Amino acid sequence: MRGTRRERPVHAADIAAEAVLIGAGGRAILLQLADPAVGRGVAEHSDFETRPTDRLTGTLTFAYAVVCGSESDIRLARRRVNAAHATVRGARSDAGPAYSASHPELQLWVAATLYDSAVTMHELVYGPLDDATADALYAAYAPLATELGMPPDLWPADRAAFGVYWADRLATLSPGELARDTAARVLFPASGPLWLRLSMPLARLVTAGLLTPRLRTAFGLAWSPRRERAFTAVLAVTRAVYPRLPRTIRHLPKTLLLRRLRRDA
């Protein structure tokens, strides 16, 4: 695309609207599954076999509404998510720990995985954020949890505090059999639209590449020097091509999902 200007988003809402961040969606989901309580809730309340894209589009719609949308969008998305979460709870059993979609610590973890995955993907494509932009983006992602009821003071006070929280959580994650089984259902869908099934080899490669080696192994994801080179090549092509795409294309998922949210209200 010689002659096309490379555009770097600088506002939090513009960064969150970038379609390339969806590439880190698999990483965020697997990190969520690695928490035993979240993993059990997802396994027992998400139907990946017959509706493999529902959780992804639901999460994306909520994130776009909260970070990029209007107050009306936020209300619509919050009402939809709260309705979906109303029955997402379970008592402790042999299957795992108790869980509830309204539990503040679990809301924090889910929001944290979305924020960290978004920043990770953005910086891989565009390079490191400056401090002011990084702080603004961090603040913009906090409502992903607080809009669903998490006390605001539970969100780490700043990026340094988040880094401590994140490192501590990563060190304690140990995906069990349930998490691995659910991850396999996510990464190897048995049904769904053709575009989804065709895109999954690339999605699996990127998801594995974005995880730490320890978690990659814990989830049983294949890795090798050849796959490492393929992952590096995918990132190189993405860096070269994606930022030069028109903004309307780069923001298309946000535009379509917010339009659907308003239409279905």
CB 165, CB 136: distance < 8 Å: no
If pLDDT is split at 50, 70 and 90, which confidence band does 51 have?
confident
Closest CA to 231 of 7, 43, 19, 27: 27
What is the rounded CA–CA span in Å between residue 134 and residue 119? 8
Location of structure tokens 């402790």 = 92
**Rg, the chain, Cα only:** 18
What is the rounded CA–CA span in Å between residue 212 and residue 61? 27
> What is the percent of the chain with per-residue pLDDT over 70, rounded to a whole number?
97
Domain extent listing, the chain: 12-260
pLDDT at 4: 54
Closest CA to 117 of 20, 2, 223, 242: 20
Span 157-173, mean pLDDT? 97
CB 73, CB 258: distance < 8 Å: yes
Closest CA to 73 of 60, 82, 61: 61
Span 80-89, mean pLDDT? 91
Q: Record the tokens describing residue 88, joined without a space.
A: 């997402």
Residue 211 has pLDDT above 60, yes or no: yes
Span 11-39, mean pLDDT? 95
**127, burial (CB in 10 Å: exposed 0-12, middle 13-18, buried 19+):** exposed
Rounded to the nearest 5 percent, the helix, strand and coil shares of the chain are 70, 0, 30
**CA angle in degrees (0–180, nearest 5) for 93-32-239:** 165
What is the rounded CA–CA span in Å between residue 75 and residue 41? 24
The per-residue pLDDT of the chain, averaged, comes to: 93
pLDDT at 53: 81
CB 189, CB 173: distance < 8 Å: no
Span 180-200, mean pLDDT? 88
Residue 47 has pLDDT above 80, yes or no: no
Closest CA to 220 of 187, 253, 260: 187
If pLDDT is split at 50, 70 and 90, which confidence band does 21 have?
very high
Residue 2 has pLDDT above 60, yes or no: no
Residue 129 has pLDDT above 80, yes or no: yes
pLDDT at 265: 78
If pLDDT is split at 50, 70 and 90, which confidence band does 6 have?
low
If pLDDT is split at 50, 70 and 90, which confidence band does 263 have?
very high
Location of structure tokens 């929280």 = 165
